[in-house]
Chains A and B, each alone.
Chain A
Amino acid sequence: MLRKELVAASAEPLILSILAEGESYGYAIIQEIKTRSQNRMEWTDGMLYPVLHRLERKGQIKSRWVEAESGRKRKYYSLKQPGKKALAEHREHWAIVHSVLTGFGHQSYV
């Protein structure tokens, strides 16, 4: 199970990545993260929403309510241009951390 701090720090880039693949809503986003991480990233479901609202406030994503055929209402989120830029930046930063970490791993076995 991943540390809480790491889960929190990766929340924005993960949400942006999921939305980069298409419009989605809170419940589906959580399920996607759980599936992709094989449940190793433990999210308190409610905590997704403050992050979504913060991203929306920062202008990186936008939302709209959609009524499903079943009559159930869902709030769909999608990526905006600044969100794409932010995601590229997140990826770059995580890649730096990743390359530094793996670099150390290789060195120790030389």
Chain B
Amino acid sequence: MFDLEQSITAWRQQMLSAGIQTDALLDELESHLREEMARQMRSGVAAPEAFAFAVSQIGSTEALRAEFAKVNSPTAVQWRRWGVIGYSLELVAYTVLQLRQLWRAEPSHQDLILGIIGLAVTLGVASAIWRLAPAVMGYIANQAVRSGIVVASCVSVVAWLVVFARFILPDLELTSGQFAVVFLWAMLPPVAFPAVVSGLDQGQRECA
């Protein structure tokens, strides 16, 4: 004897194990299943056949799961938003830490001004790259060239840091105030680097 409730429970179990996991969604599909079944039965189809037909109309669980996975994964816009928030926080944290560092170094007036200019230039360059990079990257159609730009800028940033720390800094005789200023200016490339990466990523999405 065909037991509808039991069949529906078994069907839900099957959907669950196929990866369709929220109750609200299963309730919605079940509601659809029951409507279709009712319609079939009104036109004279027996319950077991009506149920089988309704299930087949819903379609393969595999295809459904794949479609729902797409719906639930973050959209490009959301990734972009997280990127903006993350990078902004990073810049704010960098600014606060560097200002504190500069202040502690008891700088002369001149050092203080140069330091703040350095910080402002760094933030300005970083946000300009962030804004302009997607458009520029969008113009470069060749994927290999775009990746090349990111790799090249990464290598240059690392090379710059090595040269700065190993060869430039040791040769300079600096007061602590001057050191803070030089450091602020020298950090421009690494601080701006994530903006280049974001530019590639964004440009690529817009091309796709």
Residues of B close to A26: CB separation below 8 A: 28, 31-32
Q: Is A74 an interface residue (CB 8 A)?
A: yes
* Stretch of A47-55, A87-95, A99-107 lying at the B interface: A47-55
- If A26-B28, A73-B31, A75-B28 touch, whether A53 touches B59 (CB-CB below 8 Å) is no
Residues of A close to B201: CB separation below 8 A: none
Interface string of B52-78 (1 = CB under 8 A from A): 000001111001100110110000000
Complex: chain A residue closest to B61, CB-CB: A46
- If A49-B28, A73-B31 touch, whether A44 touches B71 (CB-CB below 8 Å) is no
- If A53-B68, A54-B71, A57-B71 touch, whether A46 touches B28 (CB-CB below 8 Å) is no
Q: Are A49 and B31 in contact (CB under 8 A)?
A: no
SS of A interface (majority):
helix
Complex: chain A residue closest to B30, CB-CB: A73
With contacts defined as CB atoms under 8 Å apart, how many contacts are there between chain A and chain B in the complex? Answer: 57
Tell me the count of chain A residues lying within 8 A, CB to CB, of chain B: 17
Contact-size category for B: 20 to 34
Instruction: Name the one of B24, B35, B60, B68 contacting A27, with C-beta atoms under 8 angstroms.
Output: B35
Instruction: Name the one of B27, B32, B67 contacting A45, with C-beta atoms under 8 angstroms.
Output: B32
* Closest-CB distance, A41 to chain B (whole angstroms): 14
What is the interface of chain B, defined by CB distance below 8 A to chain A? 24-25, 27-29, 31-32, 34-36, 57-60, 63-64, 67-68, 70-71
What is the interface of chain A, defined by CB distance below 8 A to chain B? 25-27, 30, 44-47, 49-50, 53-54, 57, 72-75
29 pairs from A and B in contact (CB 8 Å cutoff): A25-B31, A26-B28, A26-B31, A27-B32, A27-B35, A27-B36, A44-B60, A44-B63, A45-B32, A45-B36, A45-B57, A46-B29, A46-B58, A46-B59, A47-B59, A47-B63, A47-B67, A49-B25, A49-B29, A49-B32, A49-B64, A50-B68, A50-B71, A53-B71, A54-B70, A54-B71, A72-B34, A73-B27, A75-B27
